[in-house]
């Protein structure tokens, strides 16, 4: 018997989500999205299901409804569990108390994350209670600053973010077929993109349109954290400025101050300006929307926009407000050249140098230190751009505040990058970080309330699904210099494809895991559990490294070791995992520290030292 059609979600009455207000305690209401049978002429082909089995192109699923947690008119969220606090990497413990202070700002956006959430990260990054969500890593919460889209502050049932949903089964099930013509869409926290059948896994919640033969015309893989409260004001909102330069000019030794809400101390708008030995002081003034601050420079110390070019030398920049990003480059054609300057920020969502909307930031010999959460020293968010850093010191002290949170193309050379309570580097989505002769230290101190499911790591590469970073292959490269993990794994990759290239880097590990490639619980909205692993290409060139490599069953790794590379470690020592292809050239060696299980091996096994252990290739023992 065919399942009767359900009314499309477009017809569902949802409660308005109002802004999360500073200092408010949040309570939520749950509204059940009810399935309603319509007359034949008004019926929709849309049905909400949760997948219970995937057999080729046949999908079996429970039919049900969605329960939406939304804010009431006062911006209050639902009782029963504090909203996840996502750091810039998108990290944050679901259902855990967010640190008091501000609402999520998402760098990790959403996240991050890990964090700057992973913009955190899953939604946004730090989720301190108080102000409206912002989004940098953490979404976020990366997990990192959560790529924007951090969890809004407030109490949400079961750690569910206000505006998110949960599936409730009706007790009936259906089986339907995917065809070559089925349109598959991935829903992000903000926006959507084209997906594939591989994105549908057991546990996925789908909105399906079926034809008369129970073939899927379209499938939307729902993100249950989507909706409600993310994405800033919905339009470019830069706020105001206490001082604005709109004419080409040169300025020497001026001081610019601001104490107003949503106000820059100085703004350079469409002009070509040289600023020498200036002082920026942003000492007061609240931010009405932390995502607008993260995305567009609202409340930043110095904002450069509308195709302006600002050349800055010898500046001193101090901010002590939420969204007090020190120096902000926003928009296509905008260029900031800053050198020999000092930047200090003390509050959440306040990076050192921030680049979004396609802007460019060129930084030389800067001294940058941040204190707040979701406050990467080198920070980017929605729309990305280009960041080039040469020399200097970049230090962070907050949770969800990596030294670099990347949703852009970022190159750093000869710099010291230190994160005292976060990942060292977070890359979100189709973006890149290239390090040359840098000293990187990561010390991720755990996520809010110590979520046991959250991975701890030094370098995170992920996709938050917040919409702040394009889906695609991320890249990370490091040549020379050093990378030190004081806690957790060295590399953690989840819910993305990425390419990693390493050459002559000195690694110091905190545990026995060099690389972990695996899916995640989807609690941050990072893809669909069961289909959100990583696909990694790792090339080690003239590289010494040690530690285990772990690749789960929904992930893959293509590892190439060449030009005198030396690896000491085990790959999937427990025997279970995804596809792992290893290429070892004649000049490189591998010393086993445990039994290792891989899918294929290209090389001479005489270059492998068994060390009393065994190597299995596609189930067959070769050493």
- Write the pLDDT tens digit of every residue in 396-412: 999 999 999 999 999 99
pTM over 0.85: no
The three state secondary structure string of 68-108 is EEEECCCCCCCCCCECCCCCECCCCCCCCCCCECCCCECCC
Q: Is the distance from CB of 428 to CB of 407 less than 8 angstroms?
A: yes
Question: Is 537 in a helix, a strand, or coil?
Answer: strand
pLDDT digits (tens, 9 = 90+) for 127-136: 333 333 333 3
What is the tens place of the pLDDT at every residue in 542-564?
A: 999 999 999 999 999 999 999 99
Rounded to whole angstroms, the Cα distance separating 54 from 52 reads 7
Pairing of strands 272-276, 309-313: parallel
Q: Is the pLDDT confidence value at 10 over 70? A: no
Answer left, alpha or beta for residue 497, where phi above 0 means left and psi between -120 and 50 means alpha.
beta
Contacts 24+ apart (CB under 8 A), 536-540: 536/493, 536/497, 536/498, 536/499, 536/500, 537/498, 537/499, 537/500, 538/499, 538/500, 538/501, 538/502, 539/499, 539/500, 539/501, 539/502, 540/502, 540/503, 540/565, 540/567, 540/588
User: In the predicted model, is pLDDT for residue 76 greater than 60?
Assistant: no
Q: Does 96 have pLDDT greater than 80?
A: no
**Rounded to an integer, what distance in angstroms lies between the CA atom of residue 577 and that of residue 383?**
35
588 has a pLDDT exceeding 80: yes
Whole-angstrom distance, CA of residue 125 vs CA of residue 45:
37
> Which distant-in-sequence residues (6+ apart) come within 8 Å of 420 by Cβ?
395, 396, 397, 443
User: In the numeric block, which tokens belong to residue 384?
Assistant: 């990305």
The pLDDT of residue 422: 95
Residue 529: φ, ψ to 5°: -55, 135
> Looking at residue 203, what is its pLDDT?
81
* Rounded average pLDDT over 430-448: 90
Q: Could you tell me which of 89, 81, 93, 83 has the C-alpha nearest to residue 141?
A: 89
Range 485-498 burial, b when 16+ CB lie within 10 A, else e: bbbbbbbbbbbbbb
Quote the pLDDT of residue 423: 96
Considering only residues 502 and 229, tell me which one the structure prediction assigns the higher pLDDT.
502
* Res. 199 pLDDT band, cuts 50 70 90: confident
User: pLDDT > 90: what percent of the chain?
Assistant: 65
The structure tokens listed for 358 are: 């396609």
In this predicted structure, what is the pLDDT of residue 465? 84
Q: pLDDT band at residue 167, thresholds of 50, 70 and 90?
A: confident
pLDDT recorded at residue 233: 65
Categorize the per-residue pLDDT at 26 as very low, low, confident or very high, splitting at 50, 70 and 90: very low
Report CA-CA distances (Å) from 59 to 139, 220, 342: 30, 14, 57
Instruction: Give how far Cα 525 sits from Cα of 13, 130, 284, 466, Å.
Output: 23, 22, 34, 8
Averaged pLDDT, 64-74: 59
Task: Report pLDDT for 164.
Answer: 52
Please answer whether residues 533 and 526 qualify as being in contact, where contact means their C-beta atoms are separated by less than 8 angstroms: no
């Amino acid at each position: 018997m065919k399942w009767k059609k359900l009314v499309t979600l477009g017809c569902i009455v949802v409660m308005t989500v109002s802004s999360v207000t500073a200092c408010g305690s949040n309570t939520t209401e749950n509204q059940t999205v009810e399935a309603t049978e319509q007359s034949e002429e008004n019926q929709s082909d849309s049905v909400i299901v949760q997948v219970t089995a995937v057999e080729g192109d046949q999908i079996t699923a429970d039919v049900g409804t969605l329960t939406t947690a939304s804010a009431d008119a006062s911006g209050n969220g639902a009782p029963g569990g504090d909203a996840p606090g996502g750091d810039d990497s998108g990290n944050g413990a679901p259902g855990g108390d967010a640190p008091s202070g501000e609402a999520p700002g998402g760098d990790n956006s959403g996240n991050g994350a890990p964090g700057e959430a992973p913009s955190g990260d899953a939604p946004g990054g730090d989720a301190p209670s108080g102000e409206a969500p912002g989004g940098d890593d953490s979404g976020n919460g990366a997990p990192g600053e959560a790529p924007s889209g951090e969890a809004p502050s407030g109490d949400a049932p079961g750690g569910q973010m206000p505006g998110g949903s949960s599936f409730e089964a009706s007790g009936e099930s259906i089986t339907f077929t995917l065809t070559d013509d089925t349109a598959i869409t991935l829903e992000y926290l903000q926006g959507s993109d084209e997906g594939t059948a591989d994105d549908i896994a057991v546990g996925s919640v789908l909105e399906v349109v079926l034809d008369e033969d129970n073939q899927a015309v379209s499938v939307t893989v729902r993100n249950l954290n989507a909706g409600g409260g993310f994405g800033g004001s919905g339009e470019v909102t830069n706020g105001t400025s206490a001082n604005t330069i709109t004419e080409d000019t040169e300025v020497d030794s001026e001081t610019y101050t601001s104490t107003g809400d949503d106000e820059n101390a100085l703004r350079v708008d469409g002009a070509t300006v040289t600023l020498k030995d200036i002082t920026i002081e942003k000492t007061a003034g609240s931010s009405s929307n932390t995502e607008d601050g993260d995305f567009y420079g609202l409340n930043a110390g110095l904002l450069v926009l509308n195709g302006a070019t600002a050349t800055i030398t010898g500046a001193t920049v101090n901010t002590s407000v939420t969204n007090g990003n020190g120096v902000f480059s926003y928009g296509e054609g905008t260029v900031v050249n800053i050198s020999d300057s000092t930047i200090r920020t003390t509050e959440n969502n306040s990076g050192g140098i921030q680049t979004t909307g396609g802007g460019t930031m060129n930084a030389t010999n800067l001294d940058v230190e941040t204190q707040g959460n979701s406050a990467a020293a080198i920070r980017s968010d929605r729309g990305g751009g280009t960041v080039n850093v040469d020399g200097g010191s970049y230090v962070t002290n907050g949770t969800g505040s990596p030294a670099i949170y990347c949703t852009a193309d970022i190159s750093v050379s000869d710099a010291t990058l230190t994160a005292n309570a976060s990942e060292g580097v977070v890359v979100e989505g189709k973006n890149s970080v290239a390090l040359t002769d840098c000293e990187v230290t990561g010390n991720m101190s755990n996520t809010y309330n110590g979520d046991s499911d959250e991975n701890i790591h030094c370098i995170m590469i992920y996709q938050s699904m917040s919409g702040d970073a394009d889906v695609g292959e991320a890249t990370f490269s490091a040549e020379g210099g050093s990378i030190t993990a004081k806690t957790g794994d060295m590399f953690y990759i989840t819910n993305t494809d990425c390419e990693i290239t390493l050459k002559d880097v000195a690694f110091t590990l905190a545990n026995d895991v060099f690389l972990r490639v695996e899916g995640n619980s989807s609690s941050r909205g990072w893809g669909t559990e069961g289909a959100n692993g990583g696909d990694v290409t790792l090339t080690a060139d003239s590289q010494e490294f040690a530690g285990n490599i772990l690749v789960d069953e929904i992930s893959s790794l293509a590892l190439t070791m060449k030009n005198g590379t030396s690896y000491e470690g085990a790959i999937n020592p427990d025997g279970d995992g995804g596809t792992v292809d290893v290429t070892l050239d004649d000049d490189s060696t591998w010393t086993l520290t445990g039994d290792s299980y891989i899918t294929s091996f290209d090389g001479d096994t005489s270059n492998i030292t068994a060390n009393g252990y065994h190597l299995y290739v596609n189930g067959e023992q070769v050493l």
